[in-house]
Amino acid sequence: MYVIVDASKTEDNKILVDKTMEAYGTVDILFNNAGMLSMSSLMDVSLEEWNKLWAVNVTSALYLAQLVAPEMKKKDNCAGSDSYSYG
């Protein structure tokens, strides 16, 4: 199963979790692997770009964890992980 979403949009993150629950009935592992990198310098980065980077790199990981935590809390063995890449 795969679901194409924009990690910067909270409604897309909710769709991702909903589709996962529909397909599998549970969530055992959360691996946050979405990420964006800006090639703009400090002086040139726009607030729009900054907000998108923050939404993808930070907010989506928090929101996904909040969405799946109730399901994962029902079990004794579950895992969550964040993956970060720096270029």
Residue 84 has pLDDT above 50, yes or no: no
Predicted local confidence at residue 87, as pLDDT: 41
Phi, psi torsion values for 81, nearest 5 degrees: -150, 150
Q: What is the pLDDT of residue 37?
A: 92
Tokens of 75: 């079990």
* Helix orientation angle between 10-24 and 60-73, rounded to the nearest 10 degrees: 30
Please report which helix (H) or strand (E) contains residue 32, including its range: strand 29-32
**H or E segment to which residue 47 belongs:** helix 47-54
Domain 10-82, second-level architecture: 3-Layer(aba) Sandwich (3.40)
Q: What are the residue ranges spanned by the domains of the chain?
A: 10-82
Total-model pTM = 0.80
Q: Which residue has the higher pLDDT, 77 or 8?
A: 8
Return the ∠ at Cα 12 (arms to 8 and 14), rounded to 5°. Answer: 115
Q: How does pLDDT run across 11-67, given as a tens digit for each residue? A: 999 999 999 999 999 998 888 888 999 999 999 999 999 999 999 999 999 999 999
